[in-house]
Amino acid sequence: MMTTMAFKDTAVRRRPEEEVSDLFRAEYRSLVRLATLLLGDVGAAEEVVQDAFVKLQVGWARLRDPDKAPAWLRSAVLNGARSRLRRASVRKRHLEPVPSPTATVETDAVAHDERRRMLAALRTLPDRQREALVLKFYMELSEAETAAAMGVTAGSVKTHVHRGLASLEAALQEES
């Protein structure tokens, strides 16, 4: 009761749409990229991210700490991507690399091939290892932030990263 009273008394509150609109501008692009790296499918990634924003907006009034909304969105995107992958239909498609709209004939063929093989190997890793690697090396989150987003301990993140990198290295060596 005390909390509710305090909340009501302190605030000239913005509408959820306004709050979420700001977050959309700040976070949407990076979240779609994150989800694309996890799912390998831009369309599926956009759906997962939009779904996270829908949940956030619908539940905004119940959010205890609006400052944590970006972290909440990251977790929601990870969960959504995980569910998508389990539903399997995406799994077949995501083995195909996403065509790069910026690729040109001048693209370095060797680098492109290495990237393709790296991403293909990444997508064969267990979900947790792939998530830990993408959060650390793409989102550049700290171990603590990665752990919070994944809902695991920092020690677990270290293990997933270590094992993931070892598996990637082995997969790339095997291919070459």
| Contacts (CB under 8 A) with other proteins, residues 108-127 | 114-115, 118-119, 122
What is the Cα 43 distance to its own chain's centre?
14
Q: Is 33 a residue that touches other proteins (CB under 8 A)? A: yes
> What would the DSSP string read from start to end of the chain?
-HHHHHHHHH--PPPHHHHHHHHHHHHHHHHHHHHHHHHS-HHHHHHHHHHHHHHHHHTGGG-S-GGGHHHHHHHHHHHHHHHHHHT-HHHHHHTSPPPPTT--TTS-HHHHHHHHHHHHHHTTS-HHHHHHHHHHHTS---HHHHHHHHTS-HHHHHHHHHHHHHHHHHHHHHH-
Q: Counting contacts by CB under 8 A, is residue 53 touching other proteins? A: yes
For position 156 contacting other proteins by CB under 8 A, the verdict is no
Select from 1-9, 44-52, 88-96 the region that touches other proteins (CB under 8 A).
44-52
Q: How many CA atoms lie within 13 A of 43 on its CB side?
A: 4
**Considering the complex, what minimum distance in angstroms separates the CB of residue 81 from other proteins?**
10
Residue 39 interacts with other proteins (CB under 8 A)?
A: no
Span interacting with other proteins, options 4-12, 24-32, 88-96, rule CB under 8 A: 24-32
**By CB under 8 A, how many residues form the interface with other proteins?**
58
With CB under 8 A as the contact rule, the residue among 13, 14, 15, 86 that binds other proteins is: 86
Binding site for other proteins (CB under 8 A): 17, 20-21, 24-25, 28-29, 32-34, 36-37, 42, 45-46, 50-51, 53-55, 57-59, 62-64, 72, 75-76, 78-80, 82-83, 86, 97-103, 114-115, 118-119, 122, 133-134, 137-138, 150-152, 165, 168-169, 172
